[in-house]
Structure 1
Amino acid sequence: MDQEESKMTTVSSERPVGRRRFLKTGCMVTAAVGVTVCGAGALAATYQPKIDQPSLSFGEKTVNDRILITYATKAGSTADIAARIGETLSKQNLAVDVLPVAKVTDLSAYSAVISGSAIRMGKLLPEMMTFIQKNQAALQQKSFSIFVVCMTMKDDTEETRKTVGAYLDPVRALVQPAHEGLFAGVIDPSKVGLIDRLAIQVIKAPIGDYRKWDEISAWAGGISAN
Protein backbone atom coordinates (compact mmCIF):
# COMPACT_ATOMS: atom_id res chain seq x y z
CA MET A 1 0.00 0.00 0.00
CA ASP A 2 1.49 3.30 -1.02
CA GLN A 3 1.39 6.54 1.01
CA GLU A 4 -1.72 7.92 -0.72
CA GLU A 5 -3.70 4.75 -0.05
CA SER A 6 -2.59 4.87 3.59
CA LYS A 7 -4.02 8.37 3.91
CA MET A 8 -7.31 7.29 2.34
CA THR A 9 -7.57 4.33 4.70
CA THR A 10 -6.92 6.53 7.72
CA VAL A 11 -9.61 8.99 6.72
CA SER A 12 -12.20 6.34 5.98
CA SER A 13 -11.57 4.66 9.33
CA GLU A 14 -12.51 7.80 11.29
CA ARG A 15 -16.05 8.20 12.67
CA PRO A 16 -18.17 10.40 10.38
CA VAL A 17 -18.73 13.87 11.74
CA GLY A 18 -22.38 14.27 12.65
CA ARG A 19 -24.34 17.45 12.00
CA ARG A 20 -24.58 18.32 15.70
CA ARG A 21 -20.85 17.80 16.25
CA PHE A 22 -20.06 19.83 13.12
CA LEU A 23 -22.19 22.74 14.26
CA LYS A 24 -20.75 22.62 17.77
CA THR A 25 -17.18 22.67 16.47
CA GLY A 26 -17.98 25.43 14.01
CA CYS A 27 -19.51 27.60 16.72
CA MET A 28 -16.49 27.10 18.95
CA VAL A 29 -14.13 28.16 16.15
CA THR A 30 -16.29 31.15 15.25
CA ALA A 31 -16.44 32.25 18.88
CA ALA A 32 -12.68 31.94 19.24
CA VAL A 33 -12.10 34.02 16.11
CA GLY A 34 -14.65 36.57 17.27
CA VAL A 35 -12.99 36.97 20.65
CA THR A 36 -9.60 37.37 19.00
CA VAL A 37 -10.80 39.97 16.52
CA CYS A 38 -12.84 41.89 19.08
CA GLY A 39 -9.97 41.76 21.55
CA ALA A 40 -7.55 43.11 18.97
CA GLY A 41 -10.04 45.82 18.04
CA ALA A 42 -10.45 46.85 21.65
CA LEU A 43 -6.69 46.99 22.14
CA ALA A 44 -6.28 49.06 18.98
CA ALA A 45 -9.04 51.43 20.03
CA THR A 46 -7.57 52.01 23.48
CA TYR A 47 -3.92 52.10 22.40
CA GLN A 48 -2.23 55.38 23.25
CA PRO A 49 1.25 56.21 21.95
CA LYS A 50 3.82 56.79 24.68
CA ILE A 51 4.06 60.51 25.40
CA ASP A 52 7.06 62.11 27.08
CA GLN A 53 6.19 63.73 30.40
CA PRO A 54 9.45 65.34 31.52
CA SER A 55 10.37 66.46 35.02
CA LEU A 56 12.59 69.55 34.93
CA SER A 57 14.29 71.80 37.46
CA PHE A 58 15.67 75.28 36.95
CA GLY A 59 17.64 77.34 39.46
CA GLU A 60 19.40 76.44 42.68
CA LYS A 61 18.37 73.11 44.18
CA THR A 62 18.69 74.47 47.72
CA VAL A 63 16.22 77.31 47.23
CA ASN A 64 13.06 76.67 49.26
CA ASP A 65 11.03 79.51 47.77
CA ARG A 66 10.39 77.71 44.48
CA ILE A 67 7.71 77.83 41.82
CA LEU A 68 5.95 74.62 40.81
CA ILE A 69 4.63 74.15 37.30
CA THR A 70 2.54 71.01 37.20
CA TYR A 71 0.77 69.74 34.13
CA ALA A 72 -1.63 67.12 32.78
CA THR A 73 -1.09 66.30 29.13
CA LYS A 74 -2.82 64.05 26.62
CA ALA A 75 -0.50 64.16 23.62
CA GLY A 76 2.51 66.13 24.88
CA SER A 77 1.59 69.66 23.82
CA THR A 78 0.78 70.82 27.35
CA ALA A 79 4.04 69.35 28.65
CA ASP A 80 5.99 71.38 26.08
CA ILE A 81 4.20 74.56 27.10
CA ALA A 82 4.88 73.88 30.78
CA ALA A 83 8.58 73.47 29.97
CA ARG A 84 8.64 76.76 28.05
CA ILE A 85 7.00 78.58 30.96
CA GLY A 86 9.59 77.08 33.29
CA GLU A 87 12.44 78.22 31.06
CA THR A 88 10.98 81.73 30.84
CA LEU A 89 10.64 82.05 34.60
CA SER A 90 14.14 80.71 35.18
CA LYS A 91 15.54 83.56 33.09
CA GLN A 92 14.12 85.89 35.75
CA ASN A 93 16.38 84.18 38.32
CA LEU A 94 13.49 82.17 39.72
CA ALA A 95 13.83 78.58 40.92
CA VAL A 96 11.32 76.39 39.12
CA ASP A 97 10.26 72.74 39.08
CA VAL A 98 8.22 71.37 36.18
CA LEU A 99 6.45 68.12 37.06
CA PRO A 100 3.67 65.89 35.70
CA VAL A 101 0.75 66.21 38.08
CA ALA A 102 1.00 62.53 38.99
CA LYS A 103 4.46 63.13 40.46
CA VAL A 104 3.50 66.01 42.76
CA THR A 105 3.33 64.85 46.37
CA ASP A 106 4.14 67.93 48.47
CA LEU A 107 3.52 71.65 47.94
CA SER A 108 5.25 72.91 51.08
CA ALA A 109 8.46 73.93 49.27
CA TYR A 110 6.62 76.15 46.79
CA SER A 111 5.50 79.74 47.14
CA ALA A 112 3.62 79.64 43.84
CA VAL A 113 1.93 76.97 41.75
CA ILE A 114 1.13 77.09 38.05
CA SER A 115 -1.12 74.31 36.79
CA GLY A 116 -1.64 73.43 33.16
CA SER A 117 -4.04 71.02 31.51
CA ALA A 118 -5.20 69.92 28.13
CA ILE A 119 -8.92 70.31 27.51
CA ARG A 120 -10.95 67.24 26.56
CA MET A 121 -14.65 67.47 25.80
CA GLY A 122 -14.82 70.91 27.39
CA LYS A 123 -13.15 69.83 30.63
CA LEU A 124 -9.74 69.80 32.25
CA LEU A 125 -8.17 66.36 32.38
CA PRO A 126 -9.47 64.43 35.42
CA GLU A 127 -6.05 64.11 37.03
CA MET A 128 -5.64 67.88 37.12
CA MET A 129 -9.06 68.47 38.64
CA THR A 130 -8.30 65.81 41.24
CA PHE A 131 -5.03 67.57 42.09
CA ILE A 132 -6.75 70.93 42.55
CA GLN A 133 -9.54 69.43 44.64
CA LYS A 134 -7.11 67.50 46.81
CA ASN A 135 -4.84 70.53 47.37
CA GLN A 136 -7.52 73.23 47.49
CA ALA A 137 -6.59 74.50 50.95
CA ALA A 138 -2.87 74.67 50.18
CA LEU A 139 -3.42 76.36 46.82
CA GLN A 140 -5.60 79.02 48.42
CA GLN A 141 -2.59 80.00 50.55
CA LYS A 142 -0.23 80.37 47.57
CA SER A 143 -0.02 82.35 44.38
CA PHE A 144 -1.94 80.11 41.99
CA SER A 145 -2.15 80.43 38.21
CA ILE A 146 -3.48 78.12 35.55
CA PHE A 147 -3.30 77.63 31.81
CA VAL A 148 -5.27 75.38 29.51
CA VAL A 149 -4.47 74.07 26.06
CA CYS A 150 -7.40 73.80 23.68
CA MET A 151 -7.61 73.76 19.89
CA THR A 152 -10.58 76.12 20.03
CA MET A 153 -7.94 78.79 20.71
CA LYS A 154 -6.50 78.26 17.24
CA ASP A 155 -8.66 81.25 16.39
CA ASP A 156 -8.06 83.71 19.21
CA THR A 157 -11.21 85.80 19.31
CA GLU A 158 -13.41 87.27 22.00
CA GLU A 159 -15.90 84.47 21.42
CA THR A 160 -13.36 81.65 21.67
CA ARG A 161 -11.84 83.20 24.79
CA LYS A 162 -15.28 83.29 26.36
CA THR A 163 -15.90 79.65 25.42
CA VAL A 164 -12.55 78.32 26.63
CA GLY A 165 -12.53 80.60 29.66
CA ALA A 166 -15.76 78.98 30.83
CA TYR A 167 -13.94 75.65 31.03
CA LEU A 168 -12.13 77.09 34.04
CA ASP A 169 -15.31 77.68 36.04
CA PRO A 170 -14.89 74.44 38.07
CA VAL A 171 -11.38 75.57 39.00
CA ARG A 172 -12.50 79.07 39.98
CA ALA A 173 -15.09 77.51 42.27
CA LEU A 174 -12.23 75.93 44.22
CA VAL A 175 -9.35 78.39 43.91
CA GLN A 176 -9.31 81.83 42.32
CA PRO A 177 -6.38 81.96 39.87
CA ALA A 178 -4.16 85.03 39.86
CA HIS A 179 -3.42 84.46 36.17
CA GLU A 180 -5.19 82.45 33.48
CA GLY A 181 -3.65 81.41 30.18
CA LEU A 182 -5.66 80.18 27.19
CA PHE A 183 -3.47 78.60 24.52
CA ALA A 184 -3.89 76.64 21.31
CA GLY A 185 -2.14 73.31 21.00
CA VAL A 186 -1.09 70.75 18.42
CA ILE A 187 -2.97 68.25 16.29
CA ASP A 188 -0.60 65.41 15.46
CA PRO A 189 -2.29 62.10 14.54
CA SER A 190 0.89 60.15 15.34
CA LYS A 191 0.59 61.07 19.02
CA VAL A 192 -3.00 60.00 19.64
CA GLY A 193 -4.90 56.72 19.73
CA LEU A 194 -7.09 55.19 17.03
CA ILE A 195 -10.35 56.76 18.19
CA ASP A 196 -8.82 60.24 18.26
CA ARG A 197 -7.27 59.72 14.82
CA LEU A 198 -10.67 58.74 13.44
CA ALA A 199 -12.23 61.81 15.06
CA ILE A 200 -9.57 64.01 13.45
CA GLN A 201 -10.48 62.55 10.06
CA VAL A 202 -14.24 62.84 10.57
CA ILE A 203 -14.23 66.49 11.65
CA LYS A 204 -11.37 67.31 9.27
CA ALA A 205 -9.39 68.92 12.07
CA PRO A 206 -6.51 71.11 10.87
CA ILE A 207 -3.31 69.16 11.49
CA GLY A 208 -0.39 71.23 12.73
CA ASP A 209 1.21 73.13 15.60
CA TYR A 210 -0.81 76.20 16.56
CA ARG A 211 1.06 77.21 19.71
CA LYS A 212 2.10 80.85 19.77
CA TRP A 213 5.34 80.69 21.68
CA ASP A 214 5.82 84.45 21.96
CA GLU A 215 2.42 84.78 23.64
CA ILE A 216 3.17 81.87 25.96
CA SER A 217 6.50 83.40 27.00
CA ALA A 218 4.87 86.80 27.47
CA TRP A 219 2.21 85.27 29.71
CA ALA A 220 4.89 83.61 31.83
CA GLY A 221 6.78 86.89 31.98
CA GLY A 222 3.66 88.57 33.34
CA ILE A 223 3.56 86.08 36.19
CA SER A 224 7.21 86.68 37.10
CA ALA A 225 6.63 90.44 37.07
CA ASN A 226 4.07 89.97 39.83
Structure 2
Amino acid sequence: MSTTSVLVAYGTKNGSTAGIAEMIVSALRADGLTAEARPAADVPSIEGYDAVVLGGALYAGRWNRDARTFARRHADALRNRPVWLFSSGPLDDSADRREIRPVAQVAKLSDRLGAVEHVTFGGRLTEDAKGFMAKAMVRGGKGGDFRNPGRIADWSHTIAKHLGTVVPSTTD
Protein backbone atom coordinates (compact mmCIF):
# COMPACT_ATOMS: atom_id res chain seq x y z
CA MET A 1 0.00 0.00 0.00
CA SER A 2 1.40 3.41 -0.91
CA THR A 3 1.58 6.37 1.40
CA THR A 4 -0.91 9.16 0.78
CA SER A 5 0.81 12.16 -0.81
CA VAL A 6 -0.36 15.64 0.17
CA LEU A 7 0.58 18.93 -1.48
CA VAL A 8 0.46 21.97 0.78
CA ALA A 9 0.46 24.91 -1.65
CA TYR A 10 0.44 28.48 -0.42
CA GLY A 11 0.37 32.10 -1.46
CA THR A 12 2.32 34.46 0.78
CA LYS A 13 3.85 37.90 0.70
CA ASN A 14 5.81 38.13 3.93
CA GLY A 15 6.36 34.46 4.76
CA SER A 16 3.74 33.89 7.46
CA THR A 17 1.61 31.59 5.31
CA ALA A 18 4.69 29.70 4.14
CA GLY A 19 5.52 29.08 7.80
CA ILE A 20 2.02 27.74 8.45
CA ALA A 21 2.36 25.46 5.40
CA GLU A 22 5.61 24.06 6.82
CA MET A 23 3.90 23.43 10.19
CA ILE A 24 1.11 21.55 8.39
CA VAL A 25 3.64 19.45 6.47
CA SER A 26 5.48 18.59 9.67
CA ALA A 27 2.27 17.39 11.36
CA LEU A 28 1.15 15.41 8.30
CA ARG A 29 4.53 13.69 8.07
CA ALA A 30 4.34 12.84 11.78
CA ASP A 31 1.05 11.09 10.96
CA GLY A 32 2.70 8.97 8.28
CA LEU A 33 1.78 10.93 5.18
CA THR A 34 4.09 12.07 2.44
CA ALA A 35 3.72 15.85 2.33
CA GLU A 36 5.49 18.82 0.83
CA ALA A 37 4.97 22.57 0.94
CA ARG A 38 5.38 24.58 -2.25
CA PRO A 39 4.61 28.14 -3.31
CA ALA A 40 1.35 28.00 -5.26
CA ALA A 41 2.89 29.93 -8.15
CA ASP A 42 5.55 27.20 -8.56
CA VAL A 43 3.17 24.24 -8.96
CA PRO A 44 2.61 23.37 -12.63
CA SER A 45 0.49 20.27 -11.92
CA ILE A 46 -1.10 18.47 -8.98
CA GLU A 47 -0.82 15.05 -10.61
CA GLY A 48 0.77 12.61 -8.20
CA TYR A 49 -0.88 14.16 -5.14
CA ASP A 50 -3.78 12.39 -3.47
CA ALA A 51 -4.93 15.47 -1.54
CA VAL A 52 -4.23 19.21 -1.48
CA VAL A 53 -4.13 21.80 1.26
CA LEU A 54 -4.18 25.34 -0.16
CA GLY A 55 -3.49 28.39 1.93
CA GLY A 56 -3.47 32.09 1.28
CA ALA A 57 -2.57 35.15 3.23
CA LEU A 58 -5.33 37.71 3.69
CA TYR A 59 -4.61 41.32 2.76
CA ALA A 60 -7.37 43.89 3.06
CA GLY A 61 -10.00 41.16 2.93
CA ARG A 62 -8.58 39.49 -0.18
CA TRP A 63 -6.81 36.14 -0.49
CA ASN A 64 -3.30 36.16 -1.90
CA ARG A 65 -3.29 36.27 -5.72
CA ASP A 66 -1.05 33.20 -6.09
CA ALA A 67 -3.49 31.08 -4.03
CA ARG A 68 -6.48 32.34 -6.06
CA THR A 69 -4.72 31.68 -9.36
CA PHE A 70 -3.72 28.18 -8.23
CA ALA A 71 -7.32 27.36 -7.31
CA ARG A 72 -8.64 28.54 -10.66
CA ARG A 73 -5.86 26.95 -12.75
CA HIS A 74 -6.21 23.54 -11.10
CA ALA A 75 -9.96 23.63 -10.39
CA ASP A 76 -10.86 20.55 -12.45
CA ALA A 77 -8.14 18.41 -10.86
CA LEU A 78 -8.87 19.76 -7.37
CA ARG A 79 -12.52 18.74 -7.62
CA ASN A 80 -11.33 15.13 -8.03
CA ARG A 81 -9.44 14.89 -4.74
CA PRO A 82 -9.88 16.03 -1.13
CA VAL A 83 -9.01 19.71 -0.66
CA TRP A 84 -8.65 21.79 2.48
CA LEU A 85 -8.28 25.57 2.50
CA PHE A 86 -6.75 27.88 5.07
CA SER A 87 -6.33 31.60 5.41
CA SER A 88 -3.81 33.45 7.52
CA GLY A 89 -4.00 37.01 8.54
CA PRO A 90 -5.59 38.23 11.75
CA LEU A 91 -2.93 40.11 13.67
CA ASP A 92 -4.44 39.26 17.04
CA ASP A 93 -5.68 36.13 18.80
CA SER A 94 -9.20 36.28 17.30
CA ALA A 95 -8.61 33.19 15.14
CA ASP A 96 -7.90 31.18 18.31
CA ARG A 97 -10.93 32.52 20.18
CA ARG A 98 -13.61 31.94 17.55
CA GLU A 99 -14.23 30.55 14.10
CA ILE A 100 -13.57 33.16 11.44
CA ARG A 101 -15.61 32.57 8.32
CA PRO A 102 -13.76 32.71 5.01
CA VAL A 103 -13.85 35.97 3.09
CA ALA A 104 -16.39 35.95 0.23
CA GLN A 105 -13.85 35.17 -2.48
CA VAL A 106 -12.50 32.16 -0.52
CA ALA A 107 -16.02 30.94 0.29
CA LYS A 108 -16.79 30.92 -3.46
CA LEU A 109 -13.60 29.00 -4.22
CA SER A 110 -14.37 26.55 -1.43
CA ASP A 111 -17.80 25.85 -2.92
CA ARG A 112 -16.43 25.62 -6.46
CA LEU A 113 -13.72 23.13 -5.42
CA GLY A 114 -15.88 21.13 -3.02
CA ALA A 115 -13.38 21.76 -0.23
CA VAL A 116 -13.65 19.59 2.85
CA GLU A 117 -13.04 22.54 5.17
CA HIS A 118 -11.67 26.06 5.52
CA VAL A 119 -9.98 27.44 8.61
CA THR A 120 -8.42 30.80 9.46
CA PHE A 121 -5.21 31.03 11.46
CA GLY A 122 -3.57 34.07 12.99
CA GLY A 123 -0.88 35.72 10.94
CA ARG A 124 2.54 37.19 11.47
CA LEU A 125 3.85 40.62 10.60
CA THR A 126 7.41 41.55 11.54
CA GLU A 127 9.82 44.43 11.00
CA ASP A 128 11.12 42.85 7.78
CA ALA A 129 7.65 43.04 6.19
CA LYS A 130 7.40 44.15 2.57
CA GLY A 131 5.15 46.98 1.46
CA PHE A 132 4.28 50.42 2.73
CA MET A 133 1.11 49.38 4.56
CA ALA A 134 2.75 46.41 6.25
CA LYS A 135 5.67 48.51 7.44
CA ALA A 136 3.28 51.19 8.68
CA MET A 137 1.28 48.61 10.60
CA VAL A 138 4.41 47.30 12.33
CA ARG A 139 5.51 50.85 13.21
CA GLY A 140 2.00 51.44 14.56
CA GLY A 141 2.31 48.52 16.96
CA LYS A 142 0.15 46.06 14.96
CA GLY A 143 2.95 43.58 14.31
CA GLY A 144 3.69 40.28 15.98
CA ASP A 145 3.35 36.55 15.47
CA PHE A 146 -0.18 35.29 16.11
CA ARG A 147 0.22 31.85 14.54
CA ASN A 148 -0.66 29.04 16.94
CA PRO A 149 1.46 25.97 16.17
CA GLY A 150 -0.65 23.71 18.42
CA ARG A 151 -3.89 24.67 16.70
CA ILE A 152 -2.28 24.28 13.28
CA ALA A 153 -1.00 20.80 14.22
CA ASP A 154 -4.42 19.78 15.60
CA TRP A 155 -6.10 20.82 12.35
CA SER A 156 -3.46 18.96 10.35
CA HIS A 157 -4.12 15.80 12.38
CA THR A 158 -7.83 16.03 11.42
CA ILE A 159 -6.73 16.02 7.78
CA ALA A 160 -4.65 12.89 8.38
CA LYS A 161 -7.59 11.21 10.11
CA HIS A 162 -9.84 12.11 7.17
CA LEU A 163 -7.33 10.56 4.80
CA GLY A 164 -7.34 7.37 6.86
CA THR A 165 -3.94 7.49 8.49
CA VAL A 166 -3.36 6.46 12.05
CA VAL A 167 -2.46 9.36 14.29
CA PRO A 168 0.12 8.31 16.87
CA SER A 169 -1.14 8.27 20.44
CA THR A 170 0.52 10.66 22.89
CA THR A 171 -0.32 8.41 25.83
CA ASP A 172 0.79 4.88 26.68
Shared fold (TM-score, shorter chain, > 0.5): yes
- Is the CA contact 1:133–1:174 (under 8 Å) kept in the aligned structure 2? no
- Give the C-alpha shift of residue 168 in structure 1: 2.1
Give the match for residue 54 of structure 2.
Answer: 115
Structure holding more helix per residue: 1
In structure 2, the gaps of 5 or more residues are 163-172
Ranked by relative contact order (alpha carbons within 8 Å, sequence separation 6 or more), the top structure is 2
| Structure 1: distance between partners of 2:92 and 2:75 | 27
Q: Deviations over 1:27-46 (max 9, x none)?
A: xxxxxxxxxxxxxxxxxxxx
> Percent of counterpart pairs with the same letter?
23
Distance in 1 separating the partners of 2:87 and 2:123:
9
How far is the alpha carbon of 1:170 from its aligned partner? 2.7
Corresponding residue to 1:208 among 141, 144, 149: 144
CA deviations on 1:182-222 (whole Å, 9 max, x unpaired) are 10011212222334212444xx3432111111000000001
The aligned counterpart of 1:28 is none
Counterpart for residue 66 of structure 2: 127
Q: Name the count of aligned residue pairs.
A: 160
Give 4+ residue runs of structure 1 displaced > 3 Å after superposition: 164-167
C-alpha contact (below 8 Å) 1:165/1:182 kept by paired residues? no
1:64 and 1:108 map into 2 onto residues whose CA distance is: 15
Q: For residues 125-204 of structure 1, what are the structure 2 equivalents within 5 Å?
A: 125-151=64-90, 154-156=93-95, 157-158=97-98, 161-162=100-101, 164=102, 166=104, 168-201=106-139, 204=140
SS in 2 for 1:170: helix
SS of residue paired to 1:206: coil
Partner of residue 225 from structure 1, selected from 161, 167, 172: 161
Residue in 2 aligned with 1:99?
Answer: 38
The normalised TM-score by structure 2 is: 0.83
Larger Rg: 1
